[in-house]
Structure 1
Amino acid sequence: MMSSIIRQDLSTKDWTIFSVKRAARPRDYKEIKDSKLIKKYEPDCPFCLGNEEKTPEEILLINGGKDWSVRVVGNKYPAVEAREAFGDRYYNRRHIEGPYLSIDGVGKHEVIIESPWHDDNLVKMDVKHVEKVISAYRKRFIDISSEPENQLVIIFKNHGRRAGTSLDHPHSQLVATPFVPGYIRNKMFESQRYYDDFGRCVYCDIIDYEMKSKERLVHVNDKYLAVAPYASVVPYNVVIYPKEHQACFAEISKGDLLDLAGVLQIVLKKLYSLLDDPDYNFVIDSSPINQSGNRHYHWHIEILPRLSTRAGFEIGSGMNMNSILPETCAENLRNQKVQVL
């Protein structure tokens, strides 16, 4: 086998260098964790059951009342703010300063509190509870998409200090922006170009090939599949796709939520067991709001374990460096047996 190979991501045209002369083993990525005991309830935690008055105004409650399951609240320290904060209706004002452009920081920044219990997480929960979390994602995505100032909705989770979390209590976040950034525009451009060239969705072609190949499959159920991408950007990178073509996360039906919860939890359980609860980010990557229903894009969940640090070459080149092939990662994850609750 060659000691180095450079692969291109079919959907983005980004490149990853795989240096496989000495493929890292799973235990090489395990870190010494903070041994502090996380309690079920922390009196100072604003997300714990009984501390509801410590959060901003409640936006959504699942299983309402004292024994709620999932809460959605405004972020106390938002990156962007609702248009009302700017005092008028011109929510998309541009400002010119010489050659430079800025825009009012309008949008939404919300926190999805995944459980009332401080020591809970998506791996430990009953899969029905994970379904409730995803149901909250879907509800807020749909509601925010109806507001004219919002053009893009990003739902994401930071797990662990290296992934950027600031509170141990299990939670995810949602940010909506009044424009579509260049990174997303490029992904949309590449998927549109592929559709124009071949008359097919690039992601549907990836799904069809991976289902036939099986080499990079991590898990599959009736509605979804989890794959270690051909040009994985980091070790143990996993992407979850709906088998059916859906451009926008809002297109997911209520009947499919449990299947999505199942595959997401199984992948996270496998990562948890194999890599000893690694820090990770996941992002729901969806079509911009004004392009929902298109034929060329395909929403997905990208899971990125934080096992390595982006260094000088990656920053300077825009390329990715990875020391372990996705085929090896997929095999290790497939072989990792987990219990489904």
Structure 2
Amino acid sequence: MQTPRGARRTDTQLSDGRDLFYYDPADAPARVPLEDTRGLPEPKPQVDLRTDPLTGDVITYATHRNTRTYLPPADQCPLCATKPGNPTEIPDHDYNVAVFANRFPSFAGPGRTEVVCFTSDHDKSFTDLSQGQARLVVEAWADRTAELSARPDVEYVFAFENRGREIGVTLNHPHGQIYAYPFVPPRMRTLMARAREHQEVAGSNLFADVLAAERKEGTRVVAENGTWTAFVPEAARWPVEVHLYPHRQVADIAELTTEERDDFAELYLDVLSRFDGLYGDRLPYIAAWHAAPVRADRELGYLHLELLSIRRAADKIKYLAGSESGMGAFISDTRPEDVAETLRKVGS
């Protein structure tokens, strides 16, 4: 199956019926997927959604996830390509980018969760990818976003990556996830409410105005190219926090042009290299795509990526203590302007 913008997608299924999609460059030979020989039983996830009457937030209970794989040794990694003695979630002996339905999903029935493997190389990080490989990941994100957004049980599609044990990853292989929520998550409800208020008062898009102000002011801009700008937000919550915005308002990754996808891959790799250069090792981070909701308030959304790290010094972690966890009021030890200047110098 040929996906938009030149990637080749090959569809297959795992032995328990879950979907698996391979993404290869458009000029790669046609892939004939190998059979998953593990004979896995059909998944029976137990998911319960409840609404907090005090906040309106939806809380998800997925008790089956307590048994998911936790930090296995490299030779038993379930995200590596299959090798003799280690049949994995990827039956083929090699792959470029692979996406499959999560064996331990946070949502099932309404909603869906998928795993995105960025490369078959267990020892790499996204930072180590070539621009072409990073670009292929963007294609996978875009393709999955479009397909998941078309589902009637999905209200929000969230692509993200957690990197580092400090963040809480359970598998070290370079990968991310996509959550197709059956509801609009709390943070996006808050952002859309603010965007609606701003539209009514100012008559313009909140996110576009934030981007314009940051580019004009300049002191918090970390890097930019023809179609994207990366900056530390004026009111950053986290010790290291950078937002990447396209210069054009689009609702989600699937709406990005070929040029915008190319430029994102270039800028993102640049920013990630600055993160890793900050303290001389791989910085733990969360990379969170903020797209518009699938239906409600879609015209108010503005696709951007928020990249954050909890490390506040080379040997210190920012913990969410009383004020942050109890009241949601962040207190930071780092000034956004200082962080931006440091990141600019790291890349110079």
Cα distance in 1 for partners of 2:283, 2:162 equals: 11
Partner of 2:332: 322
How far off is 1:191 after superposition? 0.3
How far off is 1:164 after superposition? 1.8
From 72, 76, 88, give the equivalent of 2:103.
76
Report 1 or 2 for greater relative contact order, CA contacts < 8 Å, sequence distance ≥ 6: 1
Cα distance in 1 for partners of 2:153, 2:167 equals: 29
**Matched residues, number:** 268
Identity of aligned residues (%): 28
2:292 equivalent to 1:280: no
Partner of 1:217: 221
Cα distance in 2 for partners of 1:43, 1:315 equals: 38
SS at match of 2:324: helix
1:3-82 alignment runs, 5 A limit? 42-51=74-83, 53-55=87-89, 66-81=93-108
How far off is 1:137 after superposition? 0.8
2:193 equivalent to 1:166: no
Instruction: Please report the RMSD computed on the Cα atoms of aligned residues, expressed in angstroms.
Output: 2.0
Cα distance in 2 for partners of 1:223, 1:326 equals: 23
Cα distance in 2 for partners of 1:47, 1:254 equals: 29
Partner of 1:91: none
Cα distance in 2 for partners of 1:248, 1:126 equals: 23
Could you give the per-residue CA deviations for residues 246-291 of structure 1, whole angstroms, max 9, x where no partner exists? 1333321233212111111111110101132111111001111014
AA aligned to 1:321 is I
Could you give the per-residue CA deviations for residues 76-127 of structure 1, whole angstroms, max 9, x where no partner exists? 111111x3xxxxxxxxxxxxxxxxxxxxxx2111000010010011111111
AA aligned to 2:107 is V
AA aligned to 1:135 is E
1:111-150 alignment runs, 5 A limit? 111-150=115-154
2:224 equivalent to 1:190: no
TM (norm. structure 1) is 0.75
Cα distance in 2 for partners of 1:195, 1:247 equals: 16
Closer, same or farther in 2 for the Cα pair 1:280/1:239, shift >3 Å? same
Cα distance in 2 for partners of 1:186, 1:266 equals: 30
Cα distance in 2 for partners of 1:218, 1:183 equals: 25
From 226, 229, 246, give the equivalent of 2:230.
226
Partner of 2:307: 303
Partner of 1:236: 240
Partner of 1:179: 183
Structure 2 gap segments, 5+ residues each: 1-72, 312-317
How far off is 1:198 after superposition? 0.7
Closer, same or farther in 2 for the Cα pair 1:107/1:118, shift >3 Å? same
From 137, 153, 158, give the equivalent of 2:157.
153
SS at match of 1:225: strand
SS at match of 1:149: coil
How far off is 1:292 after superposition? 7.0
TM (norm. structure 2) is 0.73
Partner of 1:313: 323
Could you give the per-residue CA deviations for residues 169-215 of structure 1, whole angstroms, max 9, x where no partner exists? 10000111111133321210110110111111111111111111110
Cα distance in 1 for partners of 2:141, 2:293 equals: 16
Structure 1 gap segments, 5+ residues each: 1-40, 59-64, 84-105
Closer, same or farther in 2 for the Cα pair 1:42/1:318, shift >3 Å? closer
Tell me, yes or no, if the aligned pair for 1:228 and 1:238 is still in contact at 8 Å: yes
Tell me, yes or no, if the aligned pair for 2:293 and 2:301 is still in contact at 8 Å: no
Closer, same or farther in 2 for the Cα pair 1:204/1:244, shift >3 Å? same
AA aligned to 2:334 is I
Tell me, yes or no, if the aligned pair for 1:248 and 1:293 is still in contact at 8 Å: no
How far off is 1:55 after superposition? 1.6
Cα distance in 1 for partners of 2:229, 2:303 equals: 13
From 310, 313, 333, give the equivalent of 2:343.
333
AA aligned to 1:55 is E
2:272 equivalent to 1:268: yes
Partner of 2:211: 207
Could you give the per-residue CA deviations for residues 50-77 of structure 1, whole angstroms, max 9, x where no partner exists? 2595228x9xxxxxx7542100011111
Closer, same or farther in 2 for the Cα pair 1:291/1:53, shift >3 Å? farther
